[in-house]
């Protein structure tokens, strides 16, 4: 009878050990699932961050292009004003010279 009790105790120990191993294996599986879920969330967050950073860079480039365009327009308009003023001055000089020539020519027939 002593032999039977020992065998029964051994089987009970083996069942307990098997259950503990199964529980440990399940806990490891759950931990791995949780870790995989966290890694997916981290990857999604990183992707979102990357998209936002790319959008910010694109907006900065667009703002720089707009500022450059405004500066080009300002320079062009200023140059056009200087050109118009120079043309007016040249025309005034030509008219003065022509008037001077006409005055000399009218006085000496």
pLDDT in 10s for each residue of the chain, 109 residues = 798 899 999 999 999 999 999 999 999 999 999 999 999 999 999 999 999 999 999 999 999 999 999 999 999 999 999 999 999 999 999 999 988 888 775 555 4
Question: Residue 103's pLDDT is what?
Answer: 76
Residue 79 vs residues 15, 69, 74, 83, 107: alpha-carbon distances, Å: 95, 15, 9, 6, 42
CA atoms within 13 A on the CB side of 105: 6
Token digits of residue 51: 């998209």
Q: Which 3 state secondary structure label does DSSP give 108?
A: coil
Question: Residue 28's pLDDT is what?
Answer: 98
Overall number of domains in the chain = 1
**Torsion sign (Cα): 66, 67, 70, 76:** negative
Query: Structural domain of residue 109, as residue ranges?
Result: 1-109
Question: Residue 33's pLDDT is what?
Answer: 98
Question: Residue 106's pLDDT is what?
Answer: 53
Question: Residue 102's pLDDT is what?
Answer: 84
């Amino acid at each position: 009878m002593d032999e039977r009790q020992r065998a029964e105790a051994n089987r009970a120990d083996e069942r307990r050990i098997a259950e503990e191993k199964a529980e440990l294996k399940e806990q490891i599986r759950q931990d791995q699932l949780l870790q995989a879920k966290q890694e997916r969330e981290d990857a999604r967050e990183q992707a979102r961050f990357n998209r936002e950073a790319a959008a910010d860079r694109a907006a900065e480039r667009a703002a720089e292009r707009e500022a450059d365009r405004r500066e080009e327009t300002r320079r062009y308009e200023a140059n056009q004003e200087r050109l118009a003023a120079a043309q007016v001055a040249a025309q005034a000089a030509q008219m003065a010279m022509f008037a001077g020539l006409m005055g000399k020519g009218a006085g000496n027939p």
